Amino acid sequence: MKIIIHDSTFDSWRTHARSLLEEKIHFDDIVWQASSGGSFFDHVDVSDRKKSSALNIPREFIEEAQFVSAFRDESTWNLLYKLAYRIVYFDRNLMSMALDNDVLDFQRRMKLVSRDLHKMKAFVRFREIKKDDESIYMAWHRPDHRVLKFSAPFFTDRFNGMNWAIFTEEESMSWINNKLEFGPGISQREAEAFDSTEELWKTYYASIFNPGRVKIKMMKSELPVRHWKTLPEAELIDQLIAEAPARLDAFYESQRPSALQWVPKEATLSELRAALPNCSACVNCSRATAPVFGEGPETARIVFVGEQPGNEEDLNGSPFIGPAGQLLMEALEIAGILRSEVYLTNAVKSFKWKDQNGFRKHVNPTASDIAACRPWLKSELDIVRPHILVCLGASAAQSVFGKMMKVGDSHGKVFQTSFSDKTIILSHPSAILRMPNPEEKERLFNQFVGDIVALKDLSDQLIQ
């Protein structure tokens, strides 16, 4: 029997599991043990053995296993290794065996972790702590499983414009000046010392409470009583149920990230362009090479608004020069429109991406990214005031209209917006590029060209 001492993190499990699998060590011959526990047996330290590419474990399993590894029970590591072993040496499609006991156990744990993550998102309550002129929002929560890291995308998106920290007994996570960091945990007693006035805490809760959103019965049935103890606002609930939830919207509005404070008032296009790199309304700017401002003459009669710069636009600092931009240029050329006579810009000014095997893969901007960047677009459009405003795709339309618009339903329609009496919505050229079927791709491209020709005709009529 080998005792594997590891630090109960997925990365450490994976490093050990890889070496053990390479050596074909059977799952029944291993016991996984958390490093703090100590051991009477000789333990095997395989953490620095070289990695192998020979093991072919489906990526999906690794991703799900990472999630399941949050399940707070040491037997989880055994289960994950057993499944990995069976996948590698017996059945690559094991995870699709719906009645296999190990698979069922895996799914059960996944469901419980997922439920716990959901609870964390619903029940974390921040308390505002004022320090000098700044506020930091603190929360302490006791999840059943190790879900803190998995909740990071939710909290960074929802509370993007605030500085906050969430503590659990084992670990903590903070978002200070748009930077996410993980650290050690603290006990509930220490957490309470953050704030001597529960009143602040309650006021905060009162400001976000929305009876329509939070189902009290569900809260009571879903949330173990011990969580209620950590919610001083519990005593306010009855009173709050009776009150109107209007403050919720105002609260979220005030917390929403916005570029507004960085956008100079009554500025020219070149002053706006010069001010853009200072903006730190959202985290995307800091991850991009540099934000990409619009390009084209102030007198342009037609404005095209895209979603956000892509990889090439990010590296070169100009909008619409990558593959989607080239397709747009092709359509403009066929319609007899010069790039230099139109104004090209984007709803979001910085390239949002994630790492995928060393490549920067485009990530769609969220509604919050679009709203945060909107003051830049608004200022550009207020200056150019185009005859025709073209929204390329749903993100552009969302920014221009201030709400979600269905691209398909809007085809051929002309809308009046505060920026232009002739606002139209077309598919984004990248949707054409992504189309796998060549005939359908050609049909979409021809339709796109037809739309651009039609808007050129419309523009010509408007100046006659």
Enumerate binding residues for ligand URA (CB under 6 A): 306-310, 313, 319-320, 322, 324-325, 346, 430
Smallest gap from residue 296 Cβ to ligand URA (A): 12
257/322 with CB nearer ligand URA: 322
Supply the DSSP string of 124-156, one letter for each residue.
---EEEEETTEEEEEEE---SSS-TGGGHHHHH
257/306 with CB nearer ligand URA: 306
185/317 with CB nearer ligand URA: 317
Smallest gap from residue 307 Cβ to ligand URA (A): 4
From residue 352, how far is each of 239, 263, 306, 323, 373 by CA, in Å? 43, 20, 14, 17, 12
Smallest gap from residue 79 Cβ to ligand URA (A): 44
Smallest gap from residue 370 Cβ to ligand URA (A): 12
Q: Other CB atoms closer than 10 Å to residue 379's CB: what's the count?
A: 23
Smallest gap from residue 280 Cβ to ligand URA (A): 21
Return the SS3 of 63: helix
Smallest gap from residue 322 Cβ to ligand URA (A): 5
**Rounded (10°) CA dihedral 416, 402, 295, 161:** 160
Alpha carbon of residue 322 to chain centroid: 24
Supply the DSSP string of 417-443, one letter for each residue.
-SS-SEEEEE--HHHHHH--SHHHHHH
Task: Report how far residue 105's alpha carbon sits from residue 70's, in angstroms, rounded to the nearest whole number.
Answer: 14
- In the bound state, the residue with its beta carbon closest to ligand URA is 306
168/346 with CB nearer ligand URA: 346
232/317 with CB nearer ligand URA: 317
Burial profile 116-149: b = 16 or more Cβ within 10 angstroms, e = fewer? bbebbeebbbbbbbeeeeeebbbbbbbbbbbbbe
Edge-first strand order for the sheet with 127-131 is: 127-131, 134-140, 164-167, 171-176, 179-184
324/455 with CB nearer ligand URA: 324
138/347 with CB nearer ligand URA: 347
Alpha helices (runs of H) in 71-142, residue ranges in sequence order: 75-89, 101-123
346: closest CA among 421, 411, 288? 288
Task: Report how far residue 263's alpha carbon sits from residue 246's, in angstroms, rounded to the nearest whole number.
Answer: 29
Smallest gap from residue 395 Cβ to ligand URA (A): 8
Return the SS3 of 357: coil
Smallest gap from residue 423 Cβ to ligand URA (A): 17
Place of tokens 């599991």: 17
Give every CB contact of residue 100 below 8 A, 6+ residues apart in sequence.
94
156/345 with CB nearer ligand URA: 345
Smallest gap from residue 278 Cβ to ligand URA (A): 21
Task: Report how far residue 346's alpha carbon sits from residue 35's, in angstroms, rounded to the nearest whole number.
Answer: 51
Say how many residues make up the chain.
464
319/386 with CB nearer ligand URA: 319
User: Checking phi first, is residue 331 left (phi over 0); if not, alpha (psi -120 to 50) or beta?
Assistant: alpha
For residue 208 the two structure tokens come to 């976000």
Smallest gap from residue 389 Cβ to ligand URA (A): 15
Smallest gap from residue 319 Cβ to ligand URA (A): 4
- The helix, strand and coil proportions of the chain, stated in percent and rounded to the nearest 5, come to 50, 15, 35
257/429 with CB nearer ligand URA: 429
8/346 with CB nearer ligand URA: 346
